[in-house]
Structure 1
Amino acid sequence: MVHLRKLTDADWRPLREIRLATLADSPSAFGSTYAQEAEFGEADWRGRLTQRTYFLASDGPGGEAFGVAAGKAGDGEWTLHSMWVAPAARGRGVAARLIKAVADEAAAHGAPVLALQVAESNTGARRAYERLGFVATGEWETVPSMRRERMVRSLT
């Protein structure tokens, strides 16, 4: 069974653990590195928790986390950030549950759209996002480590 919980400002350690697992598994997908973020201190992690709304997937309260997604409000829409599911948990609907949690949070705050950026090379993620109602916009952004396309999903 998948247990989702919304992280609070006290949850910096679980956020750190899942983020480092994310970067260890998928270093080219997130525009950062394990080495960089392993150096972050408590204040850095707590700061992230105040900038975004995070949801964590685990087998139960206190169980090991195997998925994360974050949402952030801005410019009349919410953006999905840091979406990741551990390889062993993929194919179980975890991504759909995490995205639904972020979409519900965004809709509760009045956002009409949930947007994201997906790496050009991450075809698996792109297919998953399309199955979950996201549509490619044709808007591309190139950052130092990757080229990303914007995708959107209506929340209305």
Structure 2
Amino acid sequence: MNLDVRSITAADWSLLRDVSVRALADSPDAFRTTLAEARAFTENVWRQRAEGSALVLVVLEDGRAVAMGGVFTPPDSAVAEIWGMWTAPEARGRGCGGGLLADLVNWCRDRDLGVRLQVTEDNQAARRLYVAHGFQPTGVREPLREGSELRVEEMQLVE
């Protein structure tokens, strides 16, 4: 097993598209974007998604994307938001998600930013990962998507 973490740029738009579509097919209730929406995005949209985030990381195992996550900072904010965390089923339980989360958190720390994320309320594995890395619920909850009965809960890094 050969793991490599790659920082995504606009030139890597097809890798971001492929891993995002795979993540949505595997875990459709973990993301705000739907699989149908992602499949309909143009190359330009994927390039903008890669450029628009402060950092997007993909974990490659023997050249195949097995995990992803990103972080962005809203304008004029001292708090960054982690988004798009996902690990492929065959890579779960091997530390890919934890390593990826640590890299994203360290990127934020290096910039003196607070860190928030959202997690679907019933995603216990992700919640355990986030709590293990110092995140705690803020009490803020909202629908995953407009009209969705699924809810996400905000968590914030507590140090």
Look up the match of 1:99.
101
* Distance (Å, rounded) in 1 between the aligned partners of 2:115 and 2:85: 13
Cα deviation, 1:61-107, whole Å, max 9, x if unaligned, reads: xx000000000112211110000000110000101111111112212
- Give, in angstroms, the shift of residue 128 of structure 1: 1.4
Partner of 2:117: 116
Which whole-Å CA distance do the structure 1 matches of 2:130 and 2:109 have between them? 18
State the partner residue of 2:156: 152
Instruction: Please report the TM-score for the alignment, with normalisation by the length of structure 1.
Output: 0.91
CA drift of 1:2 comes to 2.4
Give the equivalent residue in structure 2 for 1:64.
Answer: 64
Identity of aligned residues (%): 34
Which deviates more from structure 2 when the two are superposed, residues 13-22 or residues 98-107? 98-107
Deviation at 1:136, TM superposition (A): 1.0
For residue 80 of structure 1, what is the aligned residue in structure 2? 82
RMSD between aligned alpha carbons? 1.3
- With 22-31 and 101-110 compared, the bigger mean Cα shift is at 101-110
Letter in 2 for 1:98: L
Q: Which digits, 9 at most, give the CA deviation of each residue in 1:129-152, with x for residues without a partner?
A: 111211111121224232111111
Could you tell me which amino acid in structure 2 is paired with residue 147 of structure 1? R
Which of structure 1's runs of 4+ aligned residues deviate more than 6 A?
Answer: none
Paired residues for 1:42-53 under 5 Å: 42-52=43-53, 53=55
Give the counterpart letter for 2:65 in structure 1: A
Distance in 1 of aligned mates of 2:61 and 2:30: 25
Q: Which moved more, 1:14-23 or 1:94-103?
A: 94-103
SS state at 1:32 partner: coil
For residues 72 and 32 of structure 1, the distance between their equivalents in structure 2, rounded to whole angstroms, comes to 16
**SS in structure 2 at match of 1:11:** helix
Count of residue correspondences: 152
Question: Which consecutive unaligned segments of at least 5 residues does structure 1 have?
Answer: none
Paired position in structure 2 for 1:12: 13
C-alpha separation between the residues in 1 aligned to 2:112 and 2:133?
20
Long gaps (5+) in structure 2: none
